[in-house]
Structure 1
C-alpha cells in the first residue's frame, strides 16, 4: 500500500491560508492552522483551491518586498 503525504493528496479537502506578508499556502483542512496564518478560502476540493490561488495570488513576493 502506498501512502501519500497529506499535503500532496489530490483528494484532500483544503484551505487557502494567508500570512501577514500576504503570502498564501494550500493547507489540508484536517490540520490545525499554524500561528501567523488565517484561512481566506475553503474548505474546498484541492483543485478548486489551486484555481483560487491562480486567480488571486499574482505576485509571490512578500508584501514588504512589493512595496519597496
Structure 2
C-alpha cells in the first residue's frame, strides 16, 4: 500500500504526494501522512477556501 503525504505550496493550495518521493519545487509537507483516502479527507477539512493565498489577501 502506498503511503501519501499532504503537501501545500506557497499559495496555500493542497495536494497529496507519495511519501517516499522527493517533493517538487515549491511544495512543502503539511504534517499529515496516510492512505490516499485519509489524506484527501484531511484536505477536505483544512482547505476550506480554495482561492490562492494571494487572491484571498487582495479580497480582504
**Structure 1, gaps ≥5 residues long:** 1-10
Give the structure-2-normalised TM-score: 0.82
**Structure 2, gaps ≥5 residues long:** none
* RMSD of aligned residue pairs (Cα, Å): 1.3
Check if 1:67 corresponds to 2:19.
no
Mapped contact 1:41–1:49 kept (Cα < 8 A): no
Give the structure-1-normalised TM-score: 0.74
Structure with the largest fraction of helix = 2
- The ranges of structure 1 where at least 4 consecutive aligned residues each deviate by more than 2 angstroms after the TM superposition are none
Task: Return the index of the structure with the highest Cα Rg.
Answer: 1
Local SS of the residue matching 1:55: helix
How far apart are 1:45 and its partner, in Å? 1.2
